[in-house]
Amino acid sequence: MAQFTTRQQDGVSIVDVKGKIVIGVGDVQLREAVRDLLSDGTRKIVLNLADVTGIDSSGIGELVSAYTATSRDGGQLKLANLPPKVRDILHITQLITVFEVFDNEDEAVASFR
């Protein structure tokens, strides 16, 4: 089971993701977490993926969907603290060029200024 916790830092919503983002487990939760933020008017989102233990094609699809939904609503979604497995998958799929990726959340938050 994946866990999602949202907190604020300098006007940016940081979503701490813990566990697996895989079909039927974390994918729907990720979608709901981002959609809830967007419906509340949030336009600056950082996904902190430091504690993600696994991701599959469904999880990658949800990352892309979250990015698209945020962009469509005039916001920005950025990724921080990618575990090696997630970083490798984003490189293989060439999605690393789509997302803004940061080594830590402070850099990600600062990039919104």
- pTM for this entry: 0.96
Place of tokens 């938050």: 109
Place of tokens 């920005």: 76
pLDDT tens digits along 30-86: 999 999 999 999 999 999 999 999 999 999 999 999 999 999 999 999 999 999 999
The residues spanned by each domain of the chain are: 3-110
pLDDT tens digits along 92-111: 999 999 999 999 999 999 99
Give the pairing type, strands 76-80 and 44-55.
Answer: parallel
Burial of 73 (0-12, 13-18, 19+ CB in 10 A): middle
Q: 3-110 has which CATH code?
A: 3.30.750.24
pLDDT tens digits along 1-16: 799 999 999 999 999 9
**How far from 38 is each of 1, 67, 88, CA to CA, in Å?**
23, 11, 28
